[in-house]
Structure 1
Amino acid sequence: MSEQLIRSLWWSVRTDGTAPFDTAHLKVYYPAVASGDDAERLTGVFAPDPAGAPYPVVVFLSGVNVGQDSYRRFAAAVAATGFVVVTMDRVAELFGGQVGLTPGVDLNAARPDAYGTRPTCPTLGAILDALADINELPPLRGALDLDRVALGGHSAGGTVVLQSARFFPSVAAVFAWGAHTMVATMLGWDPGTVLPAQVSCPVLLGVGTNDGVIQGSADRYGEDGADRPDPVRRTFTEALPAGDHLLAVVPGANHFGIADADPTAARAFLDGPAETDALVPFARLTSIFLRAHLRADATAKSELAEFDHGVQLSRR
C-alpha cells in the first residue's frame, strides 16, 4: 500500500483583539492525490483524496511562542490516517504587556467569577467559522466534515482546549500533550488548584516523564517544583468528568516531545532530556484515538485496548 500523500494550504482569519494583533494564520493539512496535470504543476495545489472524504477535522493549538511549523511532522502523521489537521500562528498580547505567539487566551474567562461560563480560547470559534468558509471553496470544497471535530493542543494550547471544548457542539474528542488545568494564582485561585475541564467527550492526555517545562513552572501555581504531584496526572484523575479517557505517559520523553523545538524561542531551555522521541508513538496513539471517537472505527477501539509501543496507558 502506498503512503498517503499529504498537502497543505494557508488561510487567514480575524479573531478577537486589536489590529494588527487580531489575525490568525492557519495551515490546513489534508490527504491528497496527485494528478500530474498542468494546473497542479504550475500552482502546487493538489486535490483532496476522495477516498476518505469528507474528513473529520482536527484543530491543534500550539504552545506559547511555539510556531505552528514545529508541529508539521505530528500534524502530517495524523492527517495521513484520514483527517484534516489545522494548525495556527497568531501574534498577540500574552500577559504583562508582552507580545508573542499565542493560542489566544481570554484571561478574564479563567478567573474564579467567570470560569466555566465561556471558552478561555475564543479563537477556536473563529477558526471553526473559517473552516466552514474553506469547505465552500476549491480545492477543499466539501472535503471537511465539520460535524466531527477534535480539538488538540500542546502545553498552553492543550490547556485552553481542555478549558473550552464543551462550548463547541461539534467537538467529539480532545487530546493534549504536556497540558493540564492547574491554574495560576495570579488569576485569583488558591495554590495548587486544578480546574474542572470543560469537556463532554473522550479525552487523551499525554506527558513525558522528563517534562522540565511543567516542573519549572510550579511557582506560577503556588507550588514547590521539587515536590509536587504531576499536574497532568492530577488533571486526569481530578478534572475530567466520567467518560472514556486515556492518560499516556511516555518514559524518557520531555515537554517538547511531539514538536521540533526552536532553541531561539519559547522555554525549551527548561526542558528535561529527550531520552525518547514521543512524536511517533503519540501521533500513532492520537490517530487511533481519533479514529475510534470521530469515525466510530471498531478496529481502532480494539487497537486502543491493546496499544503498547513504549507508552504507559491508564484508563478511566
Structure 2
Amino acid sequence: MGLRRILRFALPAVLSAAFLTGAPGPARADGPVSTYTSTVSGDPADVYYPTGISERLPVALMLQGAQVGRAHYSAYARAVAAHGFIVVVPDHRRLLFFDNDYYPEQKQAADTVAWMKDENYRDGSPLEDLVKTTRLVLLGHSFGGATGLSIVGETCTFPFCTGLTYEMPTQVKGASFFGANNKSPLTGTFATIDLQVPTQLVQGVQDGVALPADAETTYTKMIHDPKQIVRVSGTNHYGITDTQNPAGADPEVGPQSLGQGQSIEIAARWAAKFLLAAMGDEAAADYVWNTGDAADPDVTVTGDN
C-alpha cells in the first residue's frame, strides 16, 4: 500500500431552527441555502447558511477527508445548513510525512471558534450578529472524522495533534462523523474514547475503506452517553461527497448501490438532527432516539442516550 493511501485511510482509522426566507421559524431541510468564501486561520473556506437567516445559528465545522478538497462537500454542507446551521468547510493544507495536502488537525476547532466570533462582529459579514458564538458542532469524513474523535475524546493524538496535551473548546457541543473509526493499522487495537460531548458515527454498510466492523468496535470504545451509530445501507466511503471517487482521492474499492443524492441527504439529515438534539431540540431528539429508525428504510440505528 502506498504512502498516500496509508495517510488517507489507515492513519485516520487510527490514530484514530433556521428559517424560511425572510422569516424566523424552524429550518426546512429543502430550504434555500446561501454561500460565500472566507478564511479560517489562513485556510480558504466555504461557508453555507440558510437564506433569509434572521436569528443566531450554531456553527458546524466540517473536517475534510485526507486529500479531499472542500468543494467536494458542497451538497452535504448545503443539506446540513438547511436544517439550521452555519456550515464552515475549510481547506486545511499541511505537510504530513513529506506529503503536502489536505490533512485536518485538532487545532481547527479552536481556530473556528475564533473565526465565528470575528465573523459575527465583522462589518459587512453576511453573518453579522447572526452567529450563535457559544455553539460549535463537528462534522467529519474519514481522516477528518478520526481527527474529530480525538477532539471529542480530548486526547492529543498524532498525527491530528502535535503537542503533548489537548483541551477541547468549551463551545463544542456535539459531533457526527462519517466513515470514521480509531483502529490502529499497526496493532489492530482500538483506544477508549472518553466522550466529552454527544457523538454520532454514520457508517456506510458498503464502505470498503473504513470498514463497518471497525466502526462498530469504535462505537463500543466510546464511553459516556449520548452516543449513536447510524448504518446506511447501499452506501460506501464516498457517500457524502458530491461524486464517487472525488478528484485527488484514492478510489473506493466497494460499489455504492444507493444514489449519491440519496446517501448525502440521509447522512446530512441524521447528522443535523443528532446535533440539534445535542443542543436541546426536543423534536430532533424524538427523531434520532425514537421515531427516525423505523421511518427510514435505509438505516439501522443503535444508540445510548
What's the TM-score once normalised by structure 1's chain length?
0.75
Residues of 2 paired with 1:84 and 1:270: CA distance? 30
Residues of 1 paired with 2:214 and 2:78: CA distance? 29
Residues of 2 paired with 1:306 and 1:131: CA distance? 33
Partner in structure 1 of residue 144 of structure 2: 157
Distance 1:263 1:175, change over 3 A: closer
Residues of 1 paired with 2:35 and 2:113: CA distance? 17
| 1:303 correspondence with 2:287 | yes
The 4+ residue runs of structure 1 with deviation greater than 4 A are none
Identity %: 28
Residues of 2 paired with 1:242 and 1:13: CA distance? 31
Partner in structure 2 of residue 88 of structure 1: 90
Structure 1 unaligned spans of 5+: 15-22, 34-48, 105-120, 186-190, 216-228
| 1:59 correspondence with 2:66 | no
For the aligned residue pairs, the C-alpha RMSD in angstroms reads: 1.8
Q: What secondary structure, in the 3-state scheme, does the structure 2 residue paired with 1:145 have?
A: strand
User: What is the total number of aligned residue pairs between the two structures?
Assistant: 253
Q: Please report how far the alpha carbon of residue 198 of structure 1 lies from its aligned counterpart in structure 2 after TM superposition.
A: 4.9
Partner in structure 1 of residue 207 of structure 2: 211
Partner in structure 2 of residue 172 of structure 1: 173
* One-letter amino acid of the structure 2 residue matched with residue 209 of structure 1: V
Q: Please report how far the alpha carbon of residue 263 of structure 1 lies from its aligned counterpart in structure 2 after TM superposition.
A: 4.2
Q: What secondary structure, in the 3-state scheme, does the structure 2 residue paired with 1:130 have?
A: helix
Partner in structure 2 of residue 287 of structure 1: 272
Residues of 2 paired with 1:206 and 1:76: CA distance? 18
Residues of 2 paired with 1:307 and 1:100: CA distance? 38
Q: Is the 8 A contact 1:8 1:30 kept in 2?
A: yes
Structure 2 unaligned spans of 5+: 1-19, 22-29, 155-167
Partner in structure 2 of residue 37 of structure 1: none
Q: Please report how far the alpha carbon of residue 300 of structure 1 lies from its aligned counterpart in structure 2 after TM superposition.
A: 1.4
Residues of 1 paired with 2:172 and 2:195: CA distance? 9
Tell which has more relative contact order, 1 or 2 (C-alpha 8 A, sep 6+): 2
Q: Is the 8 A contact 2:33 2:51 kept in 1?
A: yes
* One-letter amino acid of the structure 2 residue matched with residue 129 of structure 1: A
| 1:75 correspondence with 2:77 | yes
Residues of 1 paired with 2:40 and 2:287: CA distance? 37
Partner in structure 2 of residue 127 of structure 1: 112
Q: Is the 8 A contact 1:61 1:158 kept in 2?
A: yes
Partner in structure 2 of residue 113 of structure 1: none
Residues of 1 paired with 2:246 and 2:151: CA distance? 30
Whichever of the two has the greater Rg, that structure is: 1
* One-letter amino acid of the structure 2 residue matched with residue 303 of structure 1: Y
* One-letter amino acid of the structure 2 residue matched with residue 271 of structure 1: V
Q: Deviations over 1:249-290 (max 9, x none)?
A: 1122100111124543112x2331011242111111112112
What's the TM-score once normalised by structure 2's chain length?
0.78
Partner in structure 2 of residue 117 of structure 1: none
Q: Is the 8 A contact 1:164 1:198 kept in 2?
A: no
| 1:312 correspondence with 2:294 | no
